[in-house]
Structure 1
Amino acid sequence: MTDVNTIYPEFITLEESLSLDSRRVEELQLRHMNQYRTQIGLSAGLTFDIVKAEGCHMWDSEGNERLDFIGCVGVYILGHNNPFVLDGVRRYLESKALTMDPMALKPVTAAFAHNMALITPELTRTVLNGGGGAEANEVILKMCRIAAARTKTGRTRVISTLNSFHGKTTGAVNAGGKDVWRRWQTPVPGHAYVPYGDADAVEEEFKKGDVIMFIAEPIQGEGGIVVPADDYFYRVRELCDRYDVYMVLDEVQAGSCRTGYVWAHQYYEGLVPDAFTFAKGISDGVLPVSGVQVKEELYMAAYGSFDSAMMHTATYQDNNISAAVALSSLQFMIEEDVAAKVLERSGYVWEGLERIRSKHPTVLKEIRGRGYMIGLKFGSDEQGTGYANAIGTVLAQKHRVHTMTSINDDTILRVYPNITTTQEDFDWFLGALEQSIAEVA
């Protein structure tokens, strides 16, 4: 075997990459990756050289311990490097199983799909991807369009909600309700947007008779942790039934136990969408995993024949190693009763946040969300400059607590703890937040 450095002297091996110093990493990212995204993080003082992560803690190259209260925007609900999930992947790799092949049987993926159907018995078909939430939403957009073309002739439109976020691929960004993410791109026809939480506006679109599907997040994430009225999705379900429209929920951010339910729509007793998408938390950051859980009727309307079965396939679709991650995460969620623990433990941090809000009502105006999906809405100073970004920066730089604003509403600071978070961690966060408010406002 030839040493790679004899052919390319500057080639960086895996072993070498794991020990690169931060200056070298910055140099490589600026030269070869997204230069301006890297510069945004560096100039804002929000990019750090993290060398280790465990539970809800991270350690930088200078040895500082940091509190991760954003978890890659919802990915690490089970904690960084969860031992149970890592062990599952390790056992899978040691088995030397066939990870992917278009026609081979897929035992791990089949088991994961079976387990999902146990949790959501009305939705019995699973599509598993080796990518992110945008890919999952692309899958369901295409599935609903094909199903409608085969069974609902004349329907062409997708209804989604203003200020929503469903990813940044071409199809997903057109389903999203924010114009800024569609800049410099030719619009995809057949999309319309209604205010989130407004069921009357949904019905006005449905009355036109050409709607295929309605898609929304159970709680808007990038839109600012917006929680609709409790009757909203019940009304949408009734309207979808009345007008024969598919109801799809995007659970990429709100699902996987984050809101105190294994799947966020289970907050609404008896509510069953026609499909929901998932990603982020089901992977716990070990490997990219996303997917769609679908009712039999919808799935078969799209792919329930030999001539349509190959209309949506992909190299990494239904692969066994992504399924091993998802299955291990799902098993941990159930055996450790993660959803119930999120509901129980979240009360402590919500009470602490409310105490801070009552002391600083013009700075911290509102606390939104459910469970461990928390949004803090901040006000502005006398010059009209919002407090959220400044407080987030002080939290990270001075107090070593990581949060993040919402990309569709930067008055909102998102707070996403995980199941390993202790009361001491919450006290660290709450104390740092109160000090940061005092320093900024």
Structure 2
Amino acid sequence: MAAIKKPADQAGDPAPGRFQDAERHLIQPWPFAGTIGNEARTPIRSADGVYITDGQGRRLIDGPAGMWCVNLGHRREELARVMAEQAMELSYNTPWYTMSDPSVVLAKRLAAHAPGDLEHVFFTTGGSSAVETALRFTQFYNNVRGRPDKKMILSRGGAYHGSTYLSASLNGRPRDRDWMDGADDLVVKLSCPDPFRRPAGMTLAGFTNFLVDEFSDTIDRIGGDRIGAFVAEPIQASGGVIVPPPGYLPRIRDLCRDNDILYVSDEVVTAFGRLGEVFASGDLFGIEPDMITFAKGVTSGYFPLGGVMISARLTEDLRRSNHPQAMFGHGYTYSSHPIGCAVALKNLDLLEDGGLDHARAVAPYFQARLKTLEDLPLVGEVRGAGLMACVECVADRESRNPLALDNAVGRRIDAHCHELGLLVRPLINMCVMSPPLVITRDQIDDMVAILREGIARTMDDLRREGLWRG
């Protein structure tokens, strides 16, 4: 195979008419009604390592790693080669009545990394379809076992689990569901496990007790015989990198086990090295879920792939049922896609061969350097774990009130950082950082320096416009 060439620098504006073509034909994700179908966004022309290059030729640190997904960095020749080689060997096979070697080998290797008895994998096309699959499997499981009423799903404020109908019904972030319908009759939202916003005067231990008591009271109120599953990210990613209080998740896992509620750990973001492990649920949080959903970093964003790890206990229960003819009528045209699975195998090789070690080694430095931003008056808290973090801005630290600020403060910071050489992910009053795992200490220093200057310039803007007097 010929060598993979580096793209030529593409400085200057995009091709003539590109913005107009986007505004006429391309509907972007998460658009507003006032601009839907008439919007052009920042063009990205090329990428390399932890950097991306925009349409004007500016080189930026990719702070969000795409969308939490480019774990091993851009332009990894090993991943690109495998993708091309597998396409030439077998580009597709129907998963309805055939299988490919890459899917079988990947399933076996993932099972070896998963906690407990999560020995089975159902491959999907991404994170939303992975969560949707877990929820539909829960329904199927309880139907086959003669428990058609055990279908309620517990989720939490601040959660994000996807954009398909059932997965989106679990979302608990502000504005996600304001104008969208969902399966509200099936979902109960619990409190967000955000220690930063716990009631004034409450200790961390007291906050854990509050969350566990709320969970227990919800089971008593609804009835364990009606609750099918609890779905939770170990760390709420798009909710603002919410790290739960100590002991919370294991205690919730115990309550789920005691009430025969399936615990679904949504590791779409936290898996594949983001927290230094292939899966974080067992090694870092001390839980053995009934299912783990994954996507994003499984291929480092080079190919759409996701999946659900499923407990052997659940599949054995189904095989022992009185309904052997019952069919799990669920699947995707691109389930177990051979190219995606081949890329994931090479991605796993690279993680095991130094990628995870580097992520573990550099993560404490990443967290410590970002924590220095708390000396800025606009910053209420910097929090995170591994190579994911959030800078939350507040009007004042005493009230921790974000609403007195311009709601676009995150976008303001991102705009300044873009000019300075850094892309961040703005979330209302927060900026989220989750760079590629291959980032170096020097690049972390550059990231933090740019972010500090971007926040400082935003403070000047807010003061000048009379929106903040900090």
Aligned to 1:15: none
Query: Quick one: which amino acid aligns to residue 374 of structure 1?
Result: A
Aligned residue-pair number: 414
User: How many Å separate the matches in 1 of 2:182 and 2:106?
Assistant: 38
Alignment partner of 1:124: what SS?
strand
Choose 238-247 or 344-353, whichever is displaced more: 344-353
Q: Distance in 2 between matches of 1:344 and 1:325?
A: 25
* SS of residue paired to 2:135: helix
- Say if 2:61 and 2:421, in contact at 8 Å, map to a contact too: yes
Aligned in 2, Cα 1:282/1:297: closer, same or farther, shift over 3 Å? same
Name the aligned partner's letter for residue 80 of structure 2.
L
Q: Deviations over 1:29-86 (max 9, x none)?
A: 2112216839979999x94332211111112343322111112220111101322222
Match of 2:169, SS state, is helix
Aligned to 2:368: 351
- Asked whether the equivalents of residues 253 and 263 of structure 2 are also in contact (C-alpha less than 8 Å), the reply is yes
- How far 1:345 moved relative to its partner? 0.4
Mapped partners of 1:415, 1:391: distance in 2: 13
- Could you say which residue in structure 2 is the equivalent of 1:10? none
2:19 aligns with one of 17, 26, 31: 26
Q: 1:242 aligns with which of 245, 258, 263?
A: 258
Does the 8 Å CA contact 2:159/2:172 hold for their aligned counterparts? yes
Counterpart secondary structure, 2:303? coil
Q: Among residues 57, 69, 74, which one is paired with 2:63 in the alignment?
A: 69
CA distance in 2, matches of 1:77, 1:307: 41
Matches within 5 A, 1:316-331: 316-331=334-349
Q: Distance in 1 between matches of 2:31 and 2:370?
A: 31
| Percent of matched pairs sharing the same residue | 21
Q: Cα–Cα, structure 1 residues 399 and 290, in superposed 2: closer, same or farther, change >3 Å?
A: same
Please state if 1:177 is matched with 2:172. yes
- Asked if residue 364 in structure 1 is aligned to residue 379 in structure 2, the reply is yes
Which residue does the alignment assign to 2:350? 332
Structure 1 residues 216 and 96: alpha-carbon distance in aligned structure 2, compared to 1, 3 A threshold: closer
Q: What displacement does 1:180 show?
A: 3.5
Superimposed CA distance per residue, residues 242-277 of structure 1 (whole angstroms, 9 cap, x where no aligned partner): 111100011111222112222121343642100010
The correspondence of residues 270-349 of structure 1 with structure 2, limited to 5 A, is 270-301=286-317, 306-336=324-354, 338-349=355-366
1:432 aligns with 450
Distance of 1:405 and 1:205 partners within structure 2:
33
Distance 1:309 1:111, change over 3 A: farther
Q: Distance in 1 between matches of 2:36 and 2:151?
A: 41
Per the TM alignment, residue 314 of structure 1 is displaced from its structure 2 partner at its CA by 2.4
Conservation of the 8 A alpha-carbon contact between 2:367 and 2:384: no
The corresponding residue for 1:375 is 390
Unaligned runs of at least 5 residues, structure 1: 1-18
Indicate how the Cα distance of structure 1 residues 314 and 440 shifts in structure 2: closer, same or farther if over 3 A, else same: closer
Shift of 1:160: 0.8
Task: Kindly indicate whether residue 114 of structure 2 is the aligned counterpart of residue 92 of structure 1.
Answer: no
Corresponding residue for residue 141 of structure 1: 135
> Which residue does the alignment assign to 1:193?
189
Q: 2:121 aligns with which of 98, 105, 126?
A: 126
Q: What are the ranges of 5 or more consecutive residues in structure 2 without an aligned counterpart?
A: 1-11, 194-210, 397-402, 460-470
The one-letter code of the counterpart of 1:193 is K
Given that 1:303 and 1:309 are in contact with CA atoms closer than 8 Å, whether structure 2 keeps it comes out as: no
Choose the corresponding residue for 2:159, options 164, 177, 181: 164
Aligned-partner residue type, residue 200 of structure 1: D
1:407-441 CA-partner distances (Å, limit 9, x unpaired): xxx22200111122122211221211222222221
Contact conserved, 1:150 with 1:301, CA < 8 A, in 2? no
Partner letter of residue 206 of structure 1?
A: I
Task: Check 1:96–1:319 CA distance in 2 against 1; reply closer, same or farther (3 A cut).
Answer: closer
Mapped contact 1:261–1:340 kept (Cα < 8 A): no
SS class of match (1:171):
helix
Matching residue's letter, 1:352: R
The 2-side partners of 1:322 and 1:306 are apart by: 31
Report what 1:107 is aligned to: 101
For the pair 1:402 / 2:423, whether they are aligned, the reply is yes
Aligned residue type for 2:150: R
Mapped partners of 1:411, 1:161: distance in 2: 20
Letter in 1 for 2:123: L
CA deviations on 1:91-131 (whole Å, 9 max, x unpaired) are 212324654352123211010000011111520010111x2
Residue aligning to 1:4? none
- Does the Cα contact within 8 Å between 1:75 and 1:285 map onto a contact in 2? yes
Q: Which stretch has the larger CA shift, 283-292 or 177-186? A: 177-186
Whole-angstrom distance in 2 between the partners of 1:404 and 1:82: 23
Moved more, 255-264 or 110-119: 255-264
Aligned-pair Cα RMSD in Å: 2.7
Mean Cα deviation higher: 344-353 or 365-374: 344-353
Question: 2:273 is matched by which residue type in structure 1?
Answer: C
- The alpha-carbon distance between structure 1 residues 332 and 203, as it changes in their structure 2 partners (threshold 3 A), is same
Once residues 49 and 318 of structure 1 are traced to their aligned partners in structure 2, the CA distance between those partners, rounded to angstroms, is 31
- Mapped to 2, the partners of 1:60 and 1:235 lie a distance apart of 46
Distance between the aligned counterparts of 2:95 and 2:151, measured in 1?
A: 34
Asked whether the equivalents of residues 27 and 37 of structure 2 are also in contact (C-alpha less than 8 Å), the reply is no
- SS of equivalent to 1:366: strand
User: After alignment, is 368-377 or 386-395 more displaced?
Assistant: 386-395
Q: Tell me the SS of whatever aligns to 2:189.
A: strand
Structure 1 residues 179 and 412, CA gap change in structure 2 (3 angstroms) = closer
